[in-house]
Structure 1
């Protein structure tokens, strides 16, 4: 529903760009809605900075202000990313009229998309790692639109390979990585990191897409469940690390206790404490584990081994500054991913 509204509003902007004056009744007839709906659309567009002027009188209507340049980026980043996944903003996969009509995009909106494609670019490679998974998107686009299965071969956590026939329900972009949400012949959906998929082959086998399934809702629940467990971890956080730690994604079971001096006590309930070792260690003395004792011992051992290497190999130099770096370098280093990934 939201996509249909957005498409109609983009179509309205396109008509106003090509005409000097367009009556509300003509807009309503063109998009098959009431004039009241057009009034709401115009209000929404002007609220987002689109310079639309109303002309009173019998021959009146709407037009774009001739004195104001229209910003071509008239869609939000979330909608732009969806268009990119569908291939409409991907210069390597030009949108065809048939594929556009298959997803309900009219000829009018296609022209807007072609203009946007020259102005929006998604760089799926980061400066220190490369997401090979985006190369599978063209196959997934077709498979999802046609509801056809794909044969996938991927690397598992143990280093082995697995091959299976999958029903692709959707794709998700999170923190620079693409994930496929798909189900096997039997059983519920699961997520597959596309950069671990070595082979993705389309098939002619069709499947019935579950009408009640929502990729957004399924993903939100999967992220909530991921890493949760019964192991209690208590962290004492200094004021210097407070802001960064609060920016990390916490579960519904997590507890945050604030103190008068700006410090925090964070209580986590995880499945395994081992994956917290690299994250907590990176904060040095600003994040201290008080329980469990096994995690404290593991972190202390890692820091001792690190210190031993630097004591013997580090050349003399100026002392490092106190406290944490005043930027998002640590968050970028984990990139929002599971630290053990």
Structure 2
């Protein structure tokens, strides 16, 4: 009998996969700041585990070599892999264990529903595996369109996702909810798929990735993005999502423990003024630490304290994420964990 499991993010990790922002992408005059943010994230992670940093070309390699924050990091390995953008959570491998043998799942990536160029990013997982830096594990291609940021698992059979992203938006238009749930169960080894119909951050162009909204932090606990300001445009949607989360039950039929995260003050794009999808649910779990987004906001401190209480055995580190949120992404979006091989 085949036993397949997608480990939760807090399981032991072999490495973290990151992508260096490339010149000529969408960063414009924010390229240097984005590189500083990824360098800061890489430097923190290298204190706890190896980091694989994908460089699109020789210019990226040269800028990595010249960046002071990356100098002398013995845990850092740079690999040259073509890419369109830096969001490794969505383009990198989703790693499962099948009878304790690793498999690197490569789902179809179409640029978040055809919004952006995706040819190189759709080939990214296979290209990273071809470098030989991921270790043992076979590539398993799936034509179902799925990004890593759209799913959360608790390691005990439950998966959390949003309808709007996977089946009621730009992707998988010919697949209904039951068929999608079957695909997820078979590919990822989960028993239960929890679908959320509500929840959205203004400015989000992923159509409701769960990693911006609600995150498993233990088998029985979900941290979620809240909003206490009734005048904020997020209030109704996030309140409805909180009600949906409260109605979910685990394998024992018990409700999950819910922990609300604060919402930072609105951040707007400096060029055209649109609101950016800033929130604290987009934190990153690694061996021995949790890296949380910071926005130079009073809520940064409250988010730090809440997440620290959720992970008392891990260091809580922060990275200024304003450069990343300008391109509608964050720390979790930029990183994909490679689970450690079973011993």
Higher relative contact order, structure no. (Cα contacts within 8 Å, ≥ 6 residues apart): 2
More helix by percentage:
1
TM-score, normalised relative to structure 2:
0.26
The TM-score with structure 1 as length reference comes to 0.26
